[in-house]
Amino acid sequence: MRPIVIAANWKMNTTPADAGELARTIASRTRVPGVTRVICPPYVSLAAVRDALSGEDVGVGAQNIHHELAGAFTGEISALMLDGLATWVILGHSERRAYFNETDSLVGRKLDRAVDAGLRPILCVGEVLADRESGRQTGIVDSQLRGALEGRDPVALAAAGLVIAYEPVWAIGTGRNASGADAAAMADAIRAALRPLGWGGTAEATPVLYGGSVTSTNIGDFLGEPAIDGALIGGASLKPDEMAGIAARAGLTAAARGLAT
Ligand code: 13P
């Protein structure tokens, strides 16, 4: 049974002085049986968020790692450095692909480092608007997955708890979300892309999240789709009221899927 995951990507927001309180508030308002919660603050706020969440069943994640474990890479953070700070990591976010030139093969190397360090990866894929408008979305996502996953051991990645987030770039931060049906079709396409990479039945067991302008108002469109297993949330994840609404809706899906005990 796939989990229901609600993951907050705070991006480049919050400071160590305010992140802990925000995390604590969100945690206290999102306690819902059967829902896996993750908060991904900026690196410098990881310790504050970890401390604030002590005793709460909320995962802490980083938003990126370097593709090497150590070395002369000024300003970078490696998977090993997250020991004791984070247990999840977002990889291949479209903002990293667009602004920091991350390629599929680089994202693949980062996945290796995450697995080495025991971090649970959330691998992001998604097409830009021009690709959606010309009907190329499935091919784009297929090639992103192939570029990052081909030649990598599905068993190791599944054991690391790999989660895939479908985040259409045109829906991120735009207020223009995909429809539930479109997101579900892409979740199906993602699992179909995994199968020829040797994933077999593991593809069906891999959680697929939707991300892109998710709010408490539209979350039901996505969680009403059996192929979708949660959300990766940007802007709304900084708002406790929004997160409370999103988690409450996720709890309904968790209960319907028999996850809430
Ligand atoms: P928004 O929810 O702000 O559109 O961001 C989505 C996202 O990029 C999450 O990783």
pLDDT tens for the 261 residues of the chain, in order: 899 999 999 999 999 999 999 999 999 999 999 999 999 999 999 999 999 999 999 999 999 999 999 999 999 999 999 999 999 999 999 999 999 999 999 999 999 999 999 999 999 999 999 999 999 999 999 999 999 999 999 999 999 999 999 999 999 999 999 999 999 999 999 999 999 999 998 999 999 999 999 999 999 999 999 999 999 999 999 999 999 999 999 999 999 999 987
| Residue 192: per-residue pLDDT | 97
Closest ligand 1 atom number to CA of residue 175: 4
Q: Which two tokens stand for residue 75?
A: 């300003």
| Residue 81: per-residue pLDDT | 98
Taking CA atoms only, the protein residue closest to ligand 1 atom 9 is: 234
Q: Is 103 helix (H, G, I), strand (E, B) or coil?
A: coil
Closest ligand 1 atom number to CA of residue 95: 8
Residue 22's alpha-carbon distances to 32, 41, 45, 50, 153, in angstroms, are 18, 10, 11, 12, 37
Residue in 167, 170, 237 to alter for ligand 1 test, most ligand atoms within 8 A of Cβ: 167
Ligand 1 geometric centre to CA of 63 (Å): 12
Answer for the pair 9, 90: CB distance below 8 angstroms, yes or no.
yes
Pocket of ligand 1 (CB under 6 A): 9, 93, 167, 172-173, 211-214, 232-236
Residue in 64, 164, 172 to alter for ligand 1 test, most ligand atoms within 8 A of Cβ: 172
| Residue 1: per-residue pLDDT | 86
| Residue 261: per-residue pLDDT | 78
| Residue 63: per-residue pLDDT | 98
Taking CA atoms only, the protein residue closest to ligand 1 atom 7 is: 234
Ligand 1 geometric centre to CA of 237 (Å): 9
Residue in 89, 125, 213, 238 to alter for ligand 1 test, most ligand atoms within 8 A of Cβ: 213
From first CA to last CA, the distance across the chain in angstroms is 13
Residue 19's alpha-carbon distances to 14, 160, 164, 198, in angstroms, are 5, 27, 26, 41
In this structure, are strands 58-62 and 35-40 parallel, antiparallel, or unpaired? parallel
Between CA 207 and CA 257 the distance in angstroms is: 13
Between CA 193 and CA 150 the distance in angstroms is: 11
Which pTM does this prediction carry? 0.98
